[in-house]
Amino acid sequence: MSLTFKRYLSLLVDKPPARPGDGINVTWLGNAGVHVTDGITGFLIDPFVSRYGMLRVALGLGMPPMQDVIAKWAATFDPALVGAVIASHSHYDHALDAPFFARLFDAPLVGTESTANIGRGARLSDDFIKVVGHADTMEIGAFKITFLESVHGPALFNRVPYPGVITSPLVSPAGARGYRMGGVFGIVIQHPAGTLVHHGSAGYDRDMYAGHHADVVLLGIAGRAGTSTYLKNVVDALGARTVIPIHFDNMFHPVSTSFRFMPAVHFDEFLDVCLQTRPNMNVSTLPVGRPVGLLINGSLNPP
Ligand SMILES: [Zn+2]
């Protein structure tokens, strides 16, 4: 086991899920995928389990959603606790599987017009597609979700991969370049127990979080430019006491509790910068595939 993986393990939030109505529980599906629930209702963001190797992705070969893997993951969630499937943007590692999860749960697929076209290509009916834009909100039980326009991280050789929008229904199997980015959202999730932000891609729009506060930020760290400026513009801007990195497991391998790290994700550097420059900030990690109690009355469980 690598020292880096040991550091990841040493930071795990390892509290049992809160009882229904008592707090917010989160399950990490690897990459930027999370299930968020208060035990009464809930939703998925960016569930992505159809993992293909880097070569296949780079060659642009078709990537059919792995229906058996999707079904296996879907079976781990109570259908009553999946009221929506949200895509933070339309790249394949965020949105390839989303419509298929949505169908299994009879839940709406929520995202940009590009995400909607992935849903239409998967033959979701319009009743099960909800297009959202900047500053739009939706309510799911006690959750109030606000979508804020963000910017994609520089990711590949300082370039955003597959920019642009998806203008017509995207029928699978499609290659990675079919999954154009569309817009990118930072997602503010307010709940009486506390506020969580899902920031799935490592860019930001200056002042995008002005007027917003979060207790915990789920921070996508793949493809970030500078760790310190990223923390400043997202985590500090939100006044969050806790940051939980996501999107650092190797997305070219199957989802696993013993994952490898994403190439060039520099997980140690991320932790070192957090510890050295923000000694009062809490840095925690999530286990894969196991729900943990995250927020009770605005505090990480435990504080
Ligand atoms: Zn992306």
pLDDT digits (tens, 9 = 90+) for 166-203: 999 999 999 999 999 999 999 999 999 999 999 999 99
Q: What is the mean pLDDT of residues 256-276?
A: 97
* pLDDT band at 291; cut points 50, 70, 90: very high
Q: Give the pLDDT of residue 303.
A: 54
Q: What is the pLDDT of residues 132-152, one digit of tens each?
A: 999 999 999 999 999 999 999
Greater pLDDT, 52 or 157: 52
Compute, in angstroms, the gap from residue 87 CA to the centroid of ligand 1. 11
Compute, in angstroms, the gap from residue 89 CA to the centroid of ligand 1. 7
Which residue spans within the chain are E strands per DSSP? 24-28, 34-37, 42-45, 85-86, 109-111, 129-131, 137-140, 143-150, 184-191, 194-199, 216-220, 242-246, 282-283, 292-296, 299-300
Q: Give the pLDDT of residue 250.
A: 98
Compute, in angstroms, the gap from residue 93 CA to the centroid of ligand 1. 7
Q: What is the mean pLDDT of residues 61-85?
A: 98
Compute, in angstroms, the gap from residue 202 CA to the centroid of ligand 1. 9
Compute, in angstroms, the gap from residue 2 CA to the centroid of ligand 1. 27
* pLDDT band at 302; cut points 50, 70, 90: low
Compute, in angstroms, the gap from residue 158 CA to the centroid of ligand 1. 13
Q: Which amino acid is at 247?
A: H
